Every structure is written in C-alpha cells, then in structure tokens.
Amino acid sequence: MQDSVALADATAKRPRGRPRKTIDERDDGNRRQALLAAAARLFRQKGFAATTTRDIAAAAGMQSGSPFYHFKSKQVLLFAVMEEGMRAALARQRATMQASAHADLAPKTQLRKLVEAHFEVLLGPGNDFVPVMLYEWRSLQPRQRKSLALLVAEYEGLWVPVLTALHASHHLRAPVALARLLILGALNWSVQWFDPKKSASVQDLSDAAMALFLPP
C-alpha cells in the first residue's frame, strides 16, 4: 500500500469516471491552466463569440469535447479567465501599495507605482487575462458581471486614497471620481495600440502618463 506515493508517472494516474471535487489537484490544475491560458489568448485576439471551444481545445492540445470536462460551459470559462486576471492584478497592486506604505512614499510616487503596475498587468508578456475582462464585459451574464464588479471595485478602490491626496494638494485638479475614470481609461486604452516590438516601454508610457496627469 505504500504505492500511494507512486508519483513517478503522474500522467498515468487519472481519476476515471466521476468528476468529483476531489481530483488529483496537481495534474488537473495543469490541464485546466492550459485551457485558461489558451482561452485568454484567443478571447483577446478574436473575441469571445468568435472563438470556438474547438479552437481553445486545439490550442491546449485537446480534443473538441474535452474542455467541458474542466469547465461546465464556454460562458463559465470566460468568467474563469476574467476572475483569474482580476485576482492576479489585485494581488499585484496590493503588494505595490504595501511597499509604498512601508517606504512612506509621497502620493505622487505612489501614483507612479500604481500606473506602472497597471501597465504591466495590461501589457506584460502573456498577460491576456485582464485585457479580456476589459473588452468582453458585455459578454458576461448579469450574475457573473455582478460578481466580477466586486473585484473591480476593490481594484479601483486602491487608487482612491492616492488620488484624493493628490487632489487635496492641488496636484490633481479634476474631481477624484472622474479623474479615476479618465486616468484608468487612458491606461486601459493602451492595449489597443501598444506594440512591444516598437520603441516605447512601460517606463516610457508611465513617464508620459505622469507628465500628462500631474504638473511638475
């Protein structure tokens, strides 16, 4: 019975039949993650409706029916992509803010950190998850939208204290609520035109954004 440790060939062991909740987490997560990554890339490139589950399966090296072993529907897969993107973005931005607080950075510098991290989340290599969320919001079902909106509100909430401080010190003249929407819009739009093969780097973009939004 010591063969419960038999992990030499992890691919050999595969829970037959019942899709219970207690599946080999390591292996299943592997394939599931491959599907998520493939879906994110394709959803971003062609859009949700124009991407077939067959496309996604093929990109993950599976047969056409297999994605449905991991996700109940295409719709659920879309949601999973977005949720994964938002959780990662949120974790990253929280870490950024904590570091800022520890270093006691000025609000201006804090904003710079937020902007930089935001650009990274949007434009970094393989970061297709958040862009999918930005451009497929309308493809969600109302219930999914409501659920994700909580994460989005949390993410945007991280910007508010910084913007409020900058507004109080007259560095930011627009009302905070509209400033937040306009600033995030300026950044989010970059996924439409940013080309990593061309010159501008995330640093350049952050410089330009800061110069645009804040006086010297």
Q: Does 53 bind DNA (CB under 7 A)?
A: yes
Q: Exactly one of 10, 45, 47, 52 binds DNA (CB under 7 A); which one?
A: 52
Q: Exactly one of 15, 19, 175, 196 binds a second copy (CB under 8 A); which one?
A: 175
Q: Does 144 bind a second copy (CB under 8 A)?
A: no
User: Between residue 38 and residue 57, which ones bind a second copy under the rule CB under 8 A?
Assistant: 45-50
Closest to 77 measured CA to CA, from 103, 59, 98: 59
Vertex 90 angle, CA 85 and 94, to 5°: 155
Specify the stretch interacting with a second copy by CB under 8 A; choose among 13-21, 22-30, 61-69, 175-183.
Answer: 175-183
Q: Greatest CA separation found in the chain? A: 71
174 binds, among a second copy, DNA, none (CB under 5 to 8 A by kind): a second copy
Closest to 126 measured CA to CA, from 213, 196, 55: 196
Least separation in angstroms between residue 119's CB and a second copy is 11
Q: Exactly one of 75, 147, 164, 188 binds DNA (CB under 7 A); which one?
A: 75
Residue in this structure with the two tokens 């508010």, named with its chain if needed: 160
Phi/psi at 95 (nearest 5 deg)?
-60, -40
Are 154 and 83 contacting, i.e. CB atoms less than 8 angstroms apart?
no
Contact residues toward DNA (CB under 7 A) are 17, 19, 28, 30-32, 51-54, 57, 61-66, 68-70, 72-75
